[in-house]
Structure 1
Amino acid sequence: MIYFDNSATTKVHPEVMKTFVAVNEKFWANPASIHEFGHQTNELLQSARKQVAEILHTSPNKIYFTSGGTESNNLAIFGLANKYKTRGRHVLVSEIEHPSILEAAKQLMKNGFEVEWIPVNSDGIIVIDAVKKLLRTDTILVSVMHVNNETGAIQPIQEISAYVRQNSRAVIHMDAVQSFGKLPVHFGALDVDAITISSHKIHGLKGSGLLALKQFMEVEPMLFGGGQESGIRSGTTPVPLAVSTAKAVRLAHDNLQENAKTMKEITENLIPFLTSFPSIKLISPTNRASHIVSFSVRKIKGEVLINALQQKNVIVSTSSACSSRQTTTSHVLKAMHIQDDYIKGVIRLSFSAINTQEEINQFKKIFTNVMKVIKGD
């Protein structure tokens, strides 16, 4: 099998799985228990928290382990908006965010907040003038993803944050689910206040992730109970998941340059091949993360191409795995104003460091034969 759907999920790294199993076997006590076994388990949990905090350049008590990207994004949107609502009730969200941001923002509107959507250009990238036009003195939250999950477009976070800092008291949340491990992501490199990371996008386990806050930032809880995770996320902390998430974060951070180089070489091999087909339009912009390439075949539904490739044991996806089973057109593609001839035929290829040039060469041969069948090219 050739697996090119790594933006949907990645294969678990053997070291991460080894960590998960070992913690389950040796440190399965409740970390909130006051006996020695519980204390040892809690020490391991806090060690994992400290490790992540060092990588993200923040304090350990600002790392909150969650069930994944969706929960972390919801916690950021609701938690930050509610915490700082005394400053105002105006929120800015880019129109190409993941549904876990968009739907949470829509719920904010029902709760009395005013939400406005930041538009993007035809490359799917926010133009700073749009932020300048929408930002107000009563804006309390700006949420912009670092790398778009459908196109790989890198958003101008530094430019956005610089303007927001100079002209408002708004806090800035960045969804880094598709950028962590591919680009430098930490509070020292990017002037944001909150960062979302999902474990299974970086060869970790599903059902785990984290929300990291900048030092001195605060967030209101969404879950109430025993006060775990500094009172922000009540419920018994799943220590094996938290520790294995820290392991995945460490591996992704330590291998960033090598992995990014591998994925860049893969896509540099692939893109000239794809654009050699007259019926193919490249959807991903030039300024994109190296692990995502989206393209479209004119007047062909993406599902047709996906099924044809799957028959040859090649796994790809439509523009987003989160919406690939739905019949509605991607909100990201709509925001980019993709032409009607192409908007239904978008295919996303997404890579990880375990993909190889040999797989790309095999893909080229298979794809060429598939195109001959479905398009006659």
Structure 2
Amino acid sequence: MNTLYFDHCASAPLHRQVAETVYEVMKLHYANAAALHRAGKEALKLVDRARLGLAAGLGVKPGEIVLTSGGTESNNLALKGIWGRRGRPAKHLITTTVEHASVYRCAKQLEGTGVDVTWLQVDEFGRVRIEDVVAAIRPDTVLVSVMHVNNETGTVQPIREIGAALARFPHVRFHVDGVQAIGKVPVCLREWGIDMYSGSAHKFQGPKGAGFLFVREGLQLEPLLAGGSQEEGVRGGTHNVPGIVGMAQAFRLSTESAEERRNRMFALRRRLLAIAADIPELVLNGYGAAEEERTAPHVVNLSYPGMRPEVLVHMLEEHGVLVSTQSACSSKSLQPSRVLRAMGLGDDRATGSIRISFGDEHTEQDIDALGERLRLTVRKLKPLERSRA
């Protein structure tokens, strides 16, 4: 029995071409990109070329790309960095109750230091209301941080509309966690009024340990760590040259045929939703096939109400299917999903949920095989459900 990997939201498989590139760079360009000798300058050229490619793909200037170690660092730099540069007492942050842990916990830390945080509620699909964002803005609001694609449900937030609304408040900066969005949904940083945007390479088939933060020109951030002068002094530390080069290549590969890939993944998602609808024990969390403009194409979140998530995950693994509960960063807690609870779902659904996320390697046959193994898993767990009743 072949193993089916359906956990792309946690980490996507490294693209074959990217793996070859990373290996070649590791083998040939091992010098420190900050070194003054020729080998160092050659490594720096690779970094600069990668930055140029990322900027071109995002429609921004190369100097607006800060290279980081991944999404968590990018999100922390955006939220914490903006407060350190203000030169006056911390004031007001607006975010949502369904953010990834790297934003949610960062905001909690800032709250503990005196930052006033407004936690916006979401609807039953996990979507924030634009009017709630606008209503929360105060004269002392510094930052609004709203994720682009939810990492558990795939819900797409109305980023374009929020950016347009915030244009009326020039004192407010707009940060977007785009980690689950790149290569999956459209993004227009300039047109949508986004000031900072986070990305992570291993979510779009690049290497782990590489990420970026778009920082609009003129916006200055305080470094998280004291160190060298890399990244214009915003992010010190030796450049991960192979990771950065691999990230730029993976970004290009994931975005150059984005619409075709998106349509293909939506077709797979519709197929999976039809299968899940025929398994009465399973309940969909998030948007169905009729609202595809409000959801990402690669994520399906299902609940088996009353069943422990680790039981579902391990039973599926026994049948050759790898999925997640919640986000990978929170899955070991085995607590009800904070995101699903924020959507107003009961603890039964928030606890017994699994996240299925797929990518380019999957076919209709893979979805059908997943469906059969889901049915088999539910049949085997049904007696356990009755014994718990």
**TM-score (structure 1 length as normaliser):** 0.96
AA in 2 matched with 1:64: V
- Aligned position for 1:364: 371
Contact 1:72 1:209 in 2 (8 A): yes
Instruction: Give 1:65's aligned amino acid.
Output: L
Deviation at 1:256, TM superposition (A): 1.2
Distance 1:225 1:307 in 2: 43
- Which amino acid is 1:360 matched to? I
Q: Are residues 1:297 and 2:299 paired?
A: no
> What code does the residue aligned with 1:19 have?
T
The residue aligned with 2:34 is: 32
Q: Deviations 1:236-293 (Å, cap 9, x if unpaired)?
A: 1111111111111111111312221221111111101112222222102232101000
CA separation in 2, counterparts of 1:6 and 1:48? 24
**Alignment match of 2:272 (pick from 266, 270, 273):** 270
SS at match of 1:80: helix
Deviations 1:10-59 (A, max 9, x none): 11001111111111122221111112221121111111111111111221
- One-letter amino acid matched to 2:327: S
Give the match for residue 23 of structure 2: 21
Off by >6 Å, runs of 4+ in structure 1: none
Query: Paired residue for 1:165?
Result: 167
1:134 aligns to what? 136
> How far apart are the structure 1 equivalents of 2:306 and 2:41?
61
Of 249-258 and 149-158, deviating more is 249-258
Moved more, 287-296 or 34-43: 34-43
Tell me the amino acid that sits aligned with residue 328 of structure 2.
A
The answer to whether the aligner puts 1:175 opposite 2:182 as a matched pair is no
SS in structure 2 at match of 1:196: strand
Percentage identity across paired residues of the two chains: 37
In structure 2, C-alpha distance between the alignment counterparts of 1:298 and 1:36, rounded to whole Å: 61
1:298 shift after superposition? 2.5
Rounded to whole Å, the distance in 2 between the matches of 1:85 and 1:266 is: 50
Q: Which runs of 5+ in 2 are unaligned?
A: none
Tell me what 2:194 maps to.
192
What whole-Å deviation, never above 9, does each CA across 1:69-118 have from its counterpart, x for those lacking one?
Answer: 11111001111232346596111111111111111112212332211111
Alignment of 1:143-162 (within 5 A): 143-162=145-164
Greater Cα offset, 96-105 or 252-261: 252-261
Pairing 1:1-377 to 2, within 5 Å after superposition: 1-84=3-86, 86=88, 89-285=91-287, 286=291, 287-375=294-382
Amino acid at match of 1:328: Q
**Counterpart of 1:166 in 2: which secondary structure?**
coil
Q: How far apart, in 2, do the equivalents of 1:325 and 1:204 lie?
A: 25
Paired residues of 1:260 and 1:290 also in contact (CA < 8 A)? yes
Distance in 1 between residues matched to 2:87 and 2:189, nearest whole Å: 23
Q: Is the 8 A contact 1:55 1:186 kept in 2?
A: no
Residue aligned with 2:218, SS: coil
Structure 1: 5+ residue stretches without partners: none
Task: State the Cα distance separating 1:153 from its structure 2 match.
Answer: 0.5
Deviation at 1:352, TM superposition (A): 0.7
Contact 1:87 1:140 in 2 (8 A): no
Greater mean deviation of Cα atoms: 274-283 or 352-361: 274-283
